[in-house]
Structure 1
């Protein structure tokens, strides 16, 4: 993909225009000028997967804009390497009703100068949505009643005032200190405020809340923050392999549960039965989800979940649109067929969060 001008940024501009047009028109032929064969296959596969959605789902992209921001670059002789964030804003239409999707993908691009022109040489995605995760131990404190039914014992929730969204307006009954925040058991009947969870998801979809750690693979940390903003009580056990809790970092010590920050661990926590506190119910289809519910993604189909999203809107025909992190996404169609991570083996779990805790 040569540029007629002697600036590698012009070659970058040409690349962004090319991939934007190819995705909008579902036309993989427009990618032929990408010299990086692996990336060309990667993008072709994504276009093909998206185009193969169920024809009964009339999703029609009508307008698309991509803006590239250079985060950092290094120019040395006839080579330029740049880390670039590409902000996609795409309009869809269904039954004459439009909505906007936003997504920010980060890539590392290498350009080379040939004569007086620059051309793209290679592309590497920087935020893979199918990041490999270290296996973590999982356990739950359980007890059985006289009938052999299993339930998880609730533990004392931890309330972190600095992490709260709109914290000044929140009061938790049962606080051991008698103040707005502290340790204590929550009384039954605390509602899950779905609109607050969604408002938090909308506020922080493309930047990190400074009151929390931000990770390279941030999808589950982000979703956990949204749940907490909606009123889900932390299940504080003090052990990273159990409960669902966050206290931050103390020097080099990570003070949060695996379920707070690791995709498969959160899926495991949501799937465990519990009689009280933060809990969820697995449902059969995306149509059964409400605002503030969760979708978990197993891209390899091997039972190990690698990604989580939160439902923040719906298409005109009632299918979920989701927000997510790692690849920052807002109102993205729930099936993720437009992700580099998606495969024919992809499996989903749909969790309806309890209306009361």
Structure 2
């Protein structure tokens, strides 16, 4: 009996894997053609198909206006987990997708990459597994997520706030010993090493640096690390609601400022005028940015910024390409119209980081 059950489970897993493999193949084709039509035969989730169709349509229009033409698209997948069968007979599957898109523009090419994690629910019908529902597990914006630190307001110093939760802890707080003499001194003699900030962003875009906490919503923590790698000096106040600083975790206590790890808090910090330390100048347009500068994203146009990226390269038109975390991205076009988080109400803030601190 147990042998028959094991055989049944093995057959189910094989069928699930085959269905996921077919899904990935069709997703790759959809990304090449920039049309979701080919997915209708294997995915019955109408909301997903509509979202994907809108996203690919935006991407096609944007590429055309930029004069950028896709030359190649690669999709790799890693099956992370097959869950237990749920009451309705659906089986949840966690899937990591690695997209790499190569574009040609004015005689030159570049590649953009992103990592996405999805949760799929598969149902068996007529002896064949089909995909009933698809949801991104983590996106640039997690709609309706209660307590999501990237979309919550940051309090005043005496307020209450649920800080970003770390995925894992490191035993020793991380500090750059070479820069310790500069903390809180704000001497205007530290050059911002834009090249080092961009190099760090490219080194750690798809895996967390173990010297830091890796947070569930990691985009701002990642951008802050990049700025620090470029020698932006911390303003260590020891208070969560002030300064821009990070020490790690000690005895279960989270030792970093909101501005280090929360999207809207970093946007506010960069917006404020100050005489020294990490500071920035808002500029009007993306083409005014340089390597190592920062873009903040307000998806709903309501003044709350829920995502941050750092400029790591430029296309042939001089427009910025950015790196990010949460949805790990490398050399992605700055406007994020290819993201499910984007809406017609999306607003941006462009920050030119000071050349000297």
Verify same fold: TM over 0.5: yes
In structure 1, the partner of 2:114 is: 103
For 1:216-266, what per-residue CA distance to the aligned partner results, in whole angstroms no more than 9, with x for missing partners?
110000000000000000111111111111111123321111100000000
Deviation at 1:303, TM superposition (A): 0.8
Is 1:51 the equivalent of 2:69? Answer: no
Query: For the Cα contact (< 8 Å) 1:65–1:90, is it kept in 2?
Result: yes
Is 1:265 the equivalent of 2:265? Answer: yes
The 1-side partners of 2:209 and 2:317 are apart by 33
Query: For the Cα contact (< 8 Å) 2:173–2:247, is it kept in 1?
Result: no
- Where do 1:175-190 residues align within 5 Å? 185-190=185-190
The 2-side partners of 1:92 and 1:216 are apart by 31
Instruction: Say which SS state the counterpart of residue 7 (structure 1) adopts.
Output: helix
Query: For the Cα contact (< 8 Å) 2:283–2:350, is it kept in 1?
Result: yes
For 1:30-65, what per-residue CA distance to the aligned partner results, in whole angstroms no more than 9, with x for missing partners?
232220111112211211222232854112111101
Which runs of 5 or more residues in structure 1 are unaligned? 140-159, 176-182
The 1-side partners of 2:184 and 2:121 are apart by 54
Q: Mean Cα displacement is larger for which, 22-31 or 195-204?
A: 22-31
For 1:300-353, what per-residue CA distance to the aligned partner results, in whole angstroms no more than 9, with x for missing partners?
011110000000011011110000000000000000000000010110000000
In structure 2, the partner of 1:355 is: 355
Deviation at 1:186, TM superposition (A): 4.6
In structure 2, the partner of 1:134 is: 152
Instruction: Say which SS state the counterpart of residue 322 (structure 1) adopts.
Output: strand
Query: For the Cα contact (< 8 Å) 1:198–1:291, is it kept in 2?
Result: yes
Q: TM-score, with normalisation over the residues of structure 2?
A: 0.85
**What is the number of equivalent residue pairs in this alignment?**
321
Instruction: Say which SS state the counterpart of residue 73 (structure 2) adopts.
Output: strand
The 2-side partners of 1:199 and 1:6 are apart by 41
- Where do 1:295-334 residues align within 5 Å? 295-334=295-334
Is 1:287 the equivalent of 2:295? Answer: no
Distance 1:10 1:163, change over 3 A: farther
Q: Mean Cα displacement is larger for which, 71-80 or 221-230?
A: 71-80
Deviation at 1:171, TM superposition (A): 5.6
The 2-side partners of 1:333 and 1:108 are apart by 25
Is 1:24 the equivalent of 2:32? Answer: yes
The 2-side partners of 1:256 and 1:234 are apart by 11
The 1-side partners of 2:14 and 2:199 are apart by 45
